Amino acid sequence: MTVVAVLGMGLMGRAAAGRLAAAGQEVVAWNRSPEALEPLQGIDRLSATTDLAAAIAPADRVVLWLADGAAIRSVLLEGVIGALLADKTVVQMGTIAPEESRAIGAELTALGCDYYEAPVLGSIPELSAGKLLLMVGATPQQFDRDRAWLQTFGPEPLLVGPVGSAAALKLAMNQLIGSLTTAFAASLALVQREGIAVETFLQILRPSALYAPTFDKKLQRMLDRDFDRPNFPTKHLLKDLDLFTQAAGSQGIETAPVQAVRAVVERAIALGLGNTDYSALFEAIAPVTEPQP
């Protein structure tokens, strides 16, 4: 029986650990802060610890659901844990830059690890149901070996290319999350302020070539200004737009439109909405206006 260590019990790591245990795998869940381990008590085949060495030692696979590249470095590469990683497979599933993934991969490989990346599109509901879209940056041999295991998370993992390529594809997707959401929020705001029925707006939009399913997914939250219980928090969107800008800028791609979206995300965070759902971009685009006396 293989043992999987899942590092990072944030929104996605917790769901991933639960999914693996439900699929019959032995899981050791690790988190820096103990509070995040409390909801994991009493789950079959799952143990939880803040002791990193105890989590990694029994594991064959180490799955990373940490916030960013800096967190991965501080957990795996800046302490004394490196020696424990030899002969283990490290699977990086968070959203980091292609350059970060290549550099982390090279350092882990030098420690004797087998490293690849498998960032995802989709969030907690898709992860819990095993329906994520998995983009894999790996060798064909790593992909063939782990394909069935990766299907625990999503039905059709796709081999994109070597390490770094899937990280870049993931950033291309998340740039769309920011840009589409901002664009929809701006149009919705104008429709509302002009007194046009929202349903009329959508009756034209839905059958048109301009429609994206994410609009309907986020509509109700925007209408209700209900941004609580996030699946994907606004602060991570800011991180991903910065990573996109860095990666695209280094390829000579114009990033001015993304900078404009970034300014909206930053405004939402300044309004205290960094830890809420990213549909909160609507609040930054169309703040509630006080009725005139």
Could you list the residues that contact ligand NAP (CB under 6 A)?
A: 8-13, 31-33, 36, 65-68, 71, 74-75, 94-95, 120, 123, 231-232, 236
Smallest gap from Cβ 162 to ligand NAP, in A, equals 20
Residue number with CB closer to ligand NAP (48 or 75):
75
Query: CA-CA distances (angstroms) from residue 273 to 38, 117, 222, 241, 278?
Result: 25, 30, 13, 16, 8
Q: What does the buried/exposed string (b/e) look like for 16-37 if buried means 16 or more CB atoms within 10 Å of the residue's CB?
A: bbbbbbbeebbbbbbbeeeebb
Tell the smallest beta-carbon distance from residue 292 to ligand NAP (Å): 39
In one-letter notation, the amino acid at residue 97 is: A
In the structure encoding, which two tokens stand for residue 156, read together? 């059709």
Q: Which is nearer to ligand NAP, 99 or 192 (CB)?
A: 99
- Asked whether 82 and 111 are in contact (CB, 8 A), the reply is yes
CB 29 within 8 A of CB 45: no
Report the residue number, 143 or 278, with the smaller CB distance to ligand NAP.
278
CB 233 to ligand NAP: min, Å: 6
- Nearest distance, CB of residue 201 and ligand NAP, angstroms: 27
Are the C-beta atoms of residues 133 and 154 closer than 8 Å to each other?
A: yes
Q: Shortest Cβ distance from residue 71 to ligand NAP (Å)?
A: 3
- Please classify residue 41 by burial: count the beta carbons closer than 10 Å to its beta carbon, then call 0-12 exposed, 13-18 middle and 19+ buried: exposed
Q: Which residue is nearest to ligand NAP (CB)?
A: 10
Helix (H, G, I), strand (E, B) or coil at 283: helix
Which residue number, 174 or 201, has a Cβ lying nearer to ligand NAP? 174
- Of the pair 11, 55, the CB lying nearest ligand NAP is at 11
